[in-house]
Amino acid sequence: MKEIRYIWAINEAIKEEMQRDENVVLIGEDVGTPGGSFGASRGLYDLFGPERVFDTPISEAAITGLAAGAAACGLRPIVEIMFMDFMTICMDGIVNQIAKMRYMFGSQYKVPIVIRTPSGAGLNAGPQHSQSLEAWFAHVPGLKVVMPGTPHDVKGLLKSAVRDDNPVVVVEHKALHALKGSIPEEEYLVPIGKAAVKKEGTDVTVVATSKMVHESLKASEALNQEGINIEVIDLLTISPWDKETIFSSVGKTHRLVIAHEAVKSFGVGAEISAAVSEEILDELDAPIMRVGAPFVPIPFSLEKAYLPNADHVIAAVKKTMERTF
């Protein structure tokens, strides 16, 4: 095992996949000699040159259009969209073209496109550079959406995404870029569509995504002091999400809290809550609780007050412990 920062785990994954397969190319704004807006592609231009690392004009629509054509012609593009907020500019290419190409052409084309994009708040980047929009893309048939929260998971999931013959949106929380963690020295993959139990417990299941996994683990330490033992599950893949792991955990604890940084309204937590209620309601001993951001734009000056954190998870766990049907 070795210690590595989240951002360098991304860099390693891209480099290894480009070395493994000459059809893997990197496309985006400033991904060449500048090394990417957050440094994820640093050094790759020197290794692979301008024929495989494409610096593009400032046009997200052009970037995704180029990727769609390249994928249809046999390449495996990795696209960087500088901020997830800028995905709004290329929604037509992603939602109306990339997500539908393989279906519309009866699988005559593969669409092996990876779209990497940093999301989330915590860096005081303001309301137009801090959003968590993963639920938009999870709502679109034809797209896979992953949200790795550790260096280990981002490297393994990114490598799996590059090898997938379908488009995958890789959502990286920018506040985790400096996070250190252990990864194997040898090559490994993390499977798409499989959640991970980060901490086993008996009293309440807490399903979390990305940065909220870390907040949930903090909450578990505090709750342990009060005799409450929670199970923390990292969803990892938003679509298709791992019902089996979550349903199995709920069948053990009989209580459920879902935590994500995105606004609570109409979010991933609502989908999981609905599925649990529809399919295994008899397993629940208390109402499901959701933790998410308030339904307002992300404030620059009050960002810390806006963001959900471990205290919100603790409050939700205690509330569901107090209640019964």
Catalytic residue ranges: 129
Contacts of 260 by beta carbon, 8 Å cutoff, 6+ apart: 132, 208, 209, 210, 212, 267, 268, 269, 291, 292, 308
Q: How far apart are CA 325 and CA 277, in angstroms?
A: 13
3-state helix, strand, coil in the chain (%, to 5): 40, 20, 40
Question: Cβ–Cβ contacts within 10 Å for residue 256, how many?
Answer: 31
- C-alpha of 97 from chain center: 22
Closest CA to 36 of 99, 79, 90: 79
The tokens of 263 are what? 């606004």
Contacts of 3 by beta carbon, 8 Å cutoff, 6+ apart: 180, 181, 182
Question: Cβ–Cβ contacts within 10 Å for residue 39, how many?
Answer: 15
